[in-house]
Amino acid sequence: MPVTPMDAVTVAIVRLRPGVPLPEYQSDGAAGMDLSAALDEPIELRPGERRLVPCGFAIAVPRGYEAQVRPRSGLAANYGLTLLNSPGTIDSDYRGEVKAVLVNHSNAAFVVTPGMRIAQLVVAPVSRAAWSEAGALPETERGGGGFGHTGH
């Protein structure tokens, strides 16, 4: 079923480089829009190397939302290419260029070419927390167990 305006959150976008592809959903059920590398020439990522790759646009995320920059599963599974700060959060008050922090976790060099789909962008609602300082927290069965305490 196609996304309708009732489902959509309107996000202002400014193309910073002529001809750069804007984020785009690849299927009707996709949660994320693919982001493309806004490069003038290919760049090589050697094994273990990381690079900040521009996407060629800036956005104004509405207050109460965030945009999350996430890895593309195919690049991760097939080439070991992923994002270091995943998901990377774009706050509603950020107005700079959207970029992806790519890292090559494979043992072979990877070439990122201009226009290559390198990451995905998910726009999601966020809640703001209001702290309520307390003398103790309510008890739960789990308690303070964490970091693999369930054996999984």
Read off the CATH number of the domain in which 73 is found.
Answer: 2.70.40.10
Whether residue 146 lies inside any domain: the answer is no
Helix (H), strand (E) at residue 123:
strand 117-125
Write out the residue range of the structural domain in which residue 50 sits: 28-125
Whether residue 140 lies inside any domain: the answer is no
Contacts of 85 (CB under 8 A, 6+ apart): 101
Please compute the mean of the pLDDT values over residues 77-106 and round it to a whole number: 96
The count of domains in the chain is 1
Chain segment 26-73, per-residue pLDDT in tens: 999 999 999 999 999 999 999 999 999 999 999 999 999 999 999 999
What tokens appear for 147 in the block? Answer: 């970091």
Whether residue 10 lies inside any domain: the answer is no
Pairing of strands 12-15, 110-112: unpaired
Whether residue 14 lies inside any domain: the answer is no
* CA–CA distance, 72 with 81 (Å, rounded to integer): 8
Question: What does the pLDDT read at residue 7?
Answer: 75
Whether residue 135 lies inside any domain: the answer is no
pTM of the model: 0.87
Angle CA(43)–CA(46)–CA(52) in degrees, nearest 5? 50
Helix (H), strand (E) at residue 43:
strand 43-45
Q: How confident is the model at residue 6 (pLDDT cuts 50, 70, 90)?
A: low
Whether residue 79 lies inside any domain: the answer is yes
Whether residue 150 lies inside any domain: the answer is no
